[in-house]
Amino acid sequence: MWMVPTLLGIILIILGLLHAAPGDPAMMMMGIGSGGSSGEVSQDGVDYQARIDAFKKENALDRSFLVQYAGVLGPFNVKPDGHELFGGDGRNPYGGFLVFDFGKELLNKNKHIGEEIKKRLLSTTLPLALISIMLTYLLALPIGIYSANRAGMTIDKITTVGLFIMYSIPVFWAGLMLKLAFGKTGLGWLPVIGLHSRDAADMDMLPYLWDAFKHFLMPVTVMTYGSLAYISRQMRTGMIEVIHQDYIRTARAKGLSEKTIIFKHALRNSMIPVITIFASILPILIGGSLVIEVIFDLPGMGEYMFKGLLKRDYNIIMATMTLSGVMTLMGILLSDIAYAIVDPRIKYS
């Protein structure tokens, strides 16, 4: 119920921060930025301010904060070609997030942001995120449980040290080391950039899949190891806490097998912290990781958001950050649902 007002608040804050931050999309448009022209050709009466003003008017950047906020939300387009209610000429009356219109990039009117996000999500970010999440949980939960059951033993200590080392390794360093080790500078087993070879489109199914597997291996490893270490430690902590509860002692006293105790009685209750983490992992993974995308040259969401920030493209920033906000809310919702599943005592009304 509170998701909608929360989302409205998130959008308001993002827009507010954008306006408060220095830098201006109009400046970038003028080409004075990003290695653009110094404009050193003779000219008469070039009125920079007039051109900046025209750009702002065209993109409704000259409107009041509230009108811009309304434009972002929709359903009315507040630009000069927008709805008559907002002084537009009515050519494109509707727009904004409510009608799923993320607009076009400010500096490249050929590019629809919605399409670009979809492309990046489907081609790069989602496949990587899904594989990484699955791998993380598939590996982290057993490691955590195993470690908890052997708490204090040598194997637990070794696991703990190993996981802490993994958790401490910076992603950019791990990525570079993997590339050096498995790229041509090392064993030469794996490609170092992208998710497909240049000629992948011409490949048959099996070679294509093999090519994709080889390309995915390093980015997925780098995306996974950090969260794997963290979640397995959470799992271990949760499990240790639960197996010291009275009801577990009772179960043991009843003579139940250790397997039954762990998987039937302890596991669900010890999952609560791990599920909580899921709420925060989802938006991070969907939002993409700039560092990983840069190291492996992947066209993902992180890079897109960063590009928007560098160019002060308000439309890109609003769309990507709002999507991240939505994903955070979705993550929280999914966590809440999962709580109810693993813990029957939790009921939502």
Partner 1 sequence: MARTALLVLPALAGLGGLALAAGVTTGVPDEVEGPHEALVDEFHPNKGVAVEKAYGGEVVVHLSSMVEGLNNAVGNSAVATWIRYEVHDQLVLQDWEMWDYRPSLAESFENEDQLILRPEAAAKYPGAKAIGAGEKARHIIYGTVLETDGGYTVTGASKGTMLGKGQSMTVAAEDVQSLERGTVFTYYLPDNCKWHDGHLFDADDVLFSWEIYGNMSVEADETRFSFQQILAGEVVDPTTVRFVFEKQYFKALDVPGSMCILPRHLFDLNDPDNKTYDPETHAEFTKLHGAGHVFSQAELGTYINENPHNTDWVGLGPYKIVSWDDRTIVAERFEGYYKPEQAGYVDKIIWRHISDDNTAFNSLVNDELDYFARVKPEDYFGEATADSSFTDSFYKGYFYTGTYGFTGMNMLRPQLKDLEVRKALTMAFDWEEYKRTKYKNLATRVNGPQNYFGGGYNRDVEFLPYDPDAAEELLAEAGWYDRDGDGIIDKDGIKLELDFLYPTGNDASSSFGLKLQESYAPLGIKVNMSNLEWATFLDRMLEREYDLVNLAWVPPVESDPEQLFHSKWGSKDQKSSNMCGVMDKGVDALIEAGQIELDETKRHKIWQSLHRRIYEEVHPYMFGMNTPRKFAMNKKIRGFQSFKIAPGYAIRRWFYPAGTAGTRASLAKSAQ
Distance of CA 76 to the CA centre of its chain: 28
Instruction: Convert 325-336 into a string of H (helix), E (strand) and C (coil).
Output: HHHHHHHHHHHH
* Site of interaction with partner 1 (CB under 8 A): 21-24, 27-44, 46, 48-49, 51-52, 54-55, 104, 107-111, 120, 176, 179-180, 183-185, 191-194, 198, 294-297, 299, 303, 310-312
CB nearer to partner 1: pick between 55 and 216: 55
CB nearer to partner 1: pick between 89 and 258: 89
CB nearer to partner 1: pick between 104 and 233: 104
CB nearer to partner 1: pick between 302 and 331: 302
Collect all residues with Cβ–Cβ distance below 8 Å to 305 and sequence separation of at least 6. 287, 288, 290, 316, 317, 320, 321, 324
CB nearer to partner 1: pick between 258 and 297: 297
Rounded least distance, CB 335 to partner 1, Å: 33
Q: Count Cβ atoms within 10 A of the Cβ of residue 196 and give its class: 0-12 exposed, 13-18 middle, 19 or more buried.
A: middle
Q: Please choose, from the candidates 266, 232, 231, 235, the residue with its C-alpha nearest in 3D space to the C-alpha of residue 251.
A: 266
Rounded least distance, CB 129 to partner 1, Å: 18
Rounded least distance, CB 195 to partner 1, Å: 10
Rounded least distance, CB 23 to partner 1, Å: 3
Q: How far is CA 83 from CA 68, 71, 87, in A?
A: 13, 10, 7
CB nearer to partner 1: pick between 43 and 349: 43
Residue 30 DSSP class: T
Rounded least distance, CB 22 to partner 1, Å: 4
CB contact at 8 A, 29 and 53: no
CB nearer to partner 1: pick between 184 and 249: 184
User: For residue 312, what are its two tokens?
Assistant: 């002060």
Rounded least distance, CB 75 to partner 1, Å: 21
User: For residue 49, what are its two tokens?
Assistant: 């301010």
CB contact at 8 A, 206 and 214: no
Rounded least distance, CB 131 to partner 1, Å: 21
CB contact at 8 A, 15 and 21: no
Rounded least distance, CB 12 to partner 1, Å: 22
CB nearer to partner 1: pick between 93 and 299: 299
Backbone angles phi, psi at 325, to 5 degrees: -60, -45
Q: Please choose, from the candidates 142, 340, 150, the residue with its C-alpha nearest in 3D space to the C-alpha of residue 235.
A: 142
What SS3 class is residue 89?
Answer: coil
The CA R_g of the chain, rounded to the nearest whole Å, is 25
